[in-house]
Amino acid sequence: MRSVLNLISLLAVGLIMAAIIMAAPADTTRGAELMQFFDRFDFAAPGLDYRSVLAGLALGVVIALIARISWVDIARRTAGWIANQAHRLLLLGLAAILIGVIIYV
């Protein structure tokens, strides 16, 4: 799972870098030619949308952080915590039932 998420985050970063390279032409004549080419169509000429770049970077970082979580360990710890807190959870459930009875009666 971790390797798949690392691959996805690397693909996201690579896609962002490719979009930056494609959106920022190297010289002004090529940029002007590109703008004239896209003026023939109904959609706007390509430009670098900084919100999309930041969203892609944030998504890549979040995917990389999620990949570092040991999901097996979380399940084991959660089950241990529930087992250790069983008495308190039982009391909490009884309190919720009693409060519900008081409110609705």
Instruction: Answer yes or no: are the C-beta atoms of 56 and 16 closer than 8 Å.
Output: yes
- Record the pTM: 0.37
Of 68, 59, 66, whose CA–CA distance to 16 is shortest?
59
Read off the pLDDT of residues 13-34 as tens digits, 9 standing for 90 and up: 777 776 766 666 555 555 566 6
Instruction: Answer yes or no: are the C-beta atoms of 5 and 66 closer than 8 Å.
Output: yes
More confident residue, 2 or 78: 78
Host H or E run for residue 59: helix 50-67
The residues, ordered by sequence, that sit 6+ positions from 75 with a Cβ below 8 Å of its Cβ are none
pLDDT band at 9 (very low <50, low <70, confident <90, very high): confident
Instruction: Answer yes or no: are the C-beta atoms of 13 and 60 closer than 8 Å.
Output: yes
Read off the pLDDT of residues 36-85 as tens digits, 9 standing for 90 and up: 665 655 455 456 666 776 777 778 788 888 888 888 888 899 999 999 99
Of 12, 94, 89, whose CA–CA distance to 57 is shortest?
12
